[in-house]
Amino acid sequence: MARDRANVRTDMWNDDDWRELSVPAQHLYLHLLSAPTLSYAGIADWRPARLSGMSKGATRLSIERAGAELVEKFFVVCDDETEEILVRSFLKYDGLLHKPNVAKAMVKAFEKTVSATLRAVIVHELRKLHDSHPELNAFSVPEVAALLSRPSTNAKELTAKGSQKGSQKGSEVDPSLLTTNYLLPTTDYSLPAKAETETDTTDYFAMVWKSWPKKDDRKGAKAKWKIAVEEFGQSERQLAEIAVTHAQAYAAYRTKQFTPALVVWLNKARWDNELPQPEESKQQSAVAHNLKLYERLSGTDSKAVGQ
C-alpha cells in the first residue's frame, strides 16, 4: 500500500527547533516527509546524489550538508551503510497509529527496514508513544504490541554511544548500534578544533588560502571571502572545510592552468559544485579515438554496419 499524500502539521512553524533550521535543511525535511517512497515506518532512501536531482541548483554536497544539520538536531537518523534515513517523529505526527489497518502496514514496513539501528530507534519512538498514549488503536493490534518488546535505542544517545565504543565492556548496549555512520561530520579537513570560548578567532581564510593550489589575487579573495560567508548562509568554518576539500581535489586532479583562483571560486559560489574528478588521460583518449576509427573503417562499428 503506497503513500499518495503526506500529513504535514502546520504547527511545526511554532516550534523553536524547527525555526532554527536553515532553509536547505527545512526543504530537505519536507522533501523526505512528502516523498512517495517514504515507508509507513518513516523510512526513506538516503541517496544524496539522487535527491539533488529533484531540485534545481541542488548538489550532492548541499544535500549532505542539509542532512547533517537535520541529524545534528535529531530531526532524522541516518544509516549511510544501508542508505536509509528515518524521519524520527513520523509515527508521532502522521496519525497512522489511530488506524489499525495502517498500523499493520507500519509493521510490514518496519520488517523491511534493513538497518538494525533505525529499527531500534523506531521501537524507542513507539515505546514513548505507548507510554504517553496507550489508548491509541494501534496498540490493540498484536503485531504492533509485539514490536514493543524488540531492541530499542534513543536517537539522542547514538552519538554518545558511538564515542564510547570499546569502552563499555559488559554493558547492555547492542554493539551493532555502534558501527553506523550517522552522517555526523567525520572527515578531517586539517582545520583546528572549534574554539572552546564563545568567540572563535580562527583565521579560516588564511587556512583556505594556504591550501589553495593557485594563489592569485589574495587581496581580492580575502575581500570576497567575507561576502561569501554571508552568502553561504552557514558557519565560516563549514565554508572553510568545503573550500579546503575542493582545494585538495584541484591539487590532485587539475593543473594550475585549469584550477580557478580562489576569488573566482568564491565569486561563482562553487561551494555547491561537485568536487573535481580525475580526468581521462590524453593517452586513453587517443586509444579510444583510434579504436573507434578502426571499428568504423573495418565495418565492425554498429552505426557503420547499419548504414
Q: What is the pLDDT of residues 49-76, one digit of tens each?
A: 888 888 888 888 889 889 999 998 899 9
Q: What is the pLDDT of residue 86?
A: 94
Q: What is the pLDDT of residue 84?
A: 92
| Contact between residue 43 and residue 98 where contact means Cβ atoms under 8 Å apart | no
Q: Which of these, 131, 33, 134, 137, lies nearest to 85 by C-alpha position? A: 33
Rounded average pLDDT over 160-188: 38
Residues in the chain: 307
For 190-203, letters b (16+ CB in 10 Å) and e give eeeeeeeeeeeebe
Q: What is the mean pLDDT of the chain?
A: 79
Cell for 86? 528515518
Q: What is the pLDDT of residue 232?
A: 86
Residue type for position 84: E
Q: pLDDT confidence of 192, banded at 50, 70, 90?
A: low
**HEC profile for 41-95?**
CCEEECCHHHHHCCCCCCCHHHHHHHHHHHHHCCCEEEECCCCEEEECCHHHHCC
Q: What residues have CB less than 8 Å from 112, skipping those under 6 apart?
A: 39, 41
Q: What is the pLDDT of residue 256?
A: 81
Phi-psi region of 246 (alpha: psi -120 to 50; beta: other; left: phi over 0): alpha
Q: Which of these, 19, 29, 10, 154, lies nearest to 90 by C-alpha position? A: 29
| Contact between residue 62 and residue 69 where contact means Cβ atoms under 8 Å apart | no
Q: What is the pLDDT of residue 8?
A: 83
Residue type for position 93: Y
Q: pLDDT confidence of 193, banded at 50, 70, 90?
A: low
How do residues 267-298 score in pLDDT, each as one tens digit? 888 888 888 776 554 455 556 666 766 676 66
For residue 139, give Cα distances in angstroms to 97, 134, 179: 8, 7, 31
Every domain of the chain and the residues it spans: 10-178, 204-272
How do residues 199-234 score in pLDDT, each as one tens digit? 566 788 988 998 898 888 899 999 999 899 888 888
